[in-house]
């Protein structure tokens, strides 16, 4: 891979910019579900991510088996994205968002005002509530948060959230942890085609091919947790996801060939055989 080394790619591509902060990696990961903290650490390294999301409530309550999670990550290198997992309504989410900001400060990220907003009343599918999410987003934006809302792939809701000042929109590909892939592709494409903020595809991605698919569609970034943490070999899958995210981005920038009904010869032969 001599010819297209990092400098070249960076000339072509722009960094991912969210709320004024720039990142080279377009893959975000999480901290949940890993079998060991060591696997989490290795996976974060292997995928090359620069943003890691953390469930504020779990860290606050030191949920069993997750002690020391916040300390296990080098927050000088990784940007924390506190999330409001476990919140079933707008008020809870707002309260937890504030706790998250405190947590980031305590861990040394004084200027971190990011929050991944999850308002999820439903425990079975873990699908977000559009009304509660919009309500919480409006309030958090007014409080100065950079809000990254987790939403169903509803283009009108995405537009509303953008209008109230959200920093990104994060439509889901399929239910969290389901590994079903990009089930809402048509709607996600409409969101991508119309958004003026970064679109981060979140939830549902199970394989590198699905990660690449989302990036080829023009998504600005991805968030992948379960597919890495619960893979047979998390760090190896993490590396695969990092490569696929880059591959999908490069393909989006390169311009794919058109899809044709018929074949086109790779090697047209106009001459005859000289034998």
Q: Among all residues, which ones are annotated catalytic? A: 116
| Residue ranges in 161-220 that form contacts with a second copy under rule CB under 8 A | 174-180, 183-187, 190, 206-210, 212-213, 216
Rounded to a whole number of angstroms, the distance between the first and last alpha carbons of the chain is: 38
Q: Which stretch binds a second copy (CB under 8 A): 71-79, 107-115, 141-149, 225-233?
A: 225-233
Per CB under 8 A, the list member of 21, 37, 75, 95 interacting with a second copy is 95
Site for a second copy in 237-266 (CB under 8 A): 237-244, 246-248, 250-251, 253-266
For residue 65, what are its two tokens? 């088996």
- Asked whether position 141 contacts a second copy by CB under 8 A, the answer is no
Contact between 84 and 119 (Cβ < 8 Å): yes
Residues 6+ apart with CB under 8 A from 198: 16, 17, 18, 167, 168, 220, 221
CA dihedral 134, 140, 143, 148 (to 10 degrees): -110
Q: Which of 53, 90, 96 is nearest to 202 (CA)?
A: 53
Decide if residue 130 touches a second copy (CB under 8 A).
Answer: yes
2 binds a second copy per the rule CB under 8 A: yes
Q: What is the DSSP letter of 70?
A: G
Determine the size of the site formed for a second copy (CB under 8 A): 117
- Residue 194, number of CB atoms within 10 A of its CB: 12
Task: Output 14 or 20, the one with its CB closest to a second copy.
Answer: 14
Closer of 18 and 237 to a second copy (Cβ): 237
Q: How far is the CB of 77 from a second copy (least distance, A)?
A: 12
Total count of residues recorded for the chain: 275
Query: Interacting stretch for a second copy, rule CB under 8 A, among 70-78, 88-96, 107-115, 139-147?
Result: 88-96
In degrees and rounded to multiples of 5, residue 148 shows phi and psi of -115, 90
Q: Which is nearer to a second copy, 30 or 149 (CB)?
A: 30
Q: Which of 27, 32, 113, 219 binds a second copy (CB under 8 A)?
A: 32
């Amino acid at each position: 891979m001599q010819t297209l080394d990092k400098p070249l790619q960076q000339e072509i591509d722009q960094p991912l910019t969210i709320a004024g902060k720039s990142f080279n990696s377009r893959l975000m990961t999480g901290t949940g579900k890993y079998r060991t903290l060591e696997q989490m650490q290795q996976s974060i390294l292997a995928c090359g991510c620069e943003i890691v999301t953390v469930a504020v409530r779990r860290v606050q309550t030191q949920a069993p088996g997750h002690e020391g999670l916040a300390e296990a990550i080098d927050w000088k290198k990784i940007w924390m994205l506190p999330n409001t997992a476990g919140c079933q309504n707008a008020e809870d989410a707002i309260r937890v968002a504030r706790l998250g900001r405190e947590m980031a400060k305590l861990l040394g990220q004084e200027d971190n005002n990011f929050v991944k907003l999850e308002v999820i009343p439903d425990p079975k599918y873990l699908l977000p509530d559009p009304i509660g999410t919009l309500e919480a987003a409006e309030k958090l934006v007014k409080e100065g948060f950079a809000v990254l809302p987790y939403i169903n792939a509803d283009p009108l809701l995405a537009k509303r959230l953008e209008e109230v000042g959200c920093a990104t929109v994060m439509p889901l590909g399929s239910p969290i942890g389901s590994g079903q892939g990009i089930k809402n592709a048509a709607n996600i494409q409409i969101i991508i085609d119309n958004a003026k903020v970064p679109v981060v595809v979140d939830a549902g991605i199970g394989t590198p091919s699905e990660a690449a698919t989302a990036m080829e569609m023009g998504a600005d970034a991805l968030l992948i947790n379960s597919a890495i943490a619960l893979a047979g070999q998390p760090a190896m899958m993490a590396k695969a996801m990092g490569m696929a995210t880059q591959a999908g981005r490069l393909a989006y920038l390169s311009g794919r060939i058109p899809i044709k009904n018929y074949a086109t010869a790779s090697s047209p032969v106009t001459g005859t055989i000289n034998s």
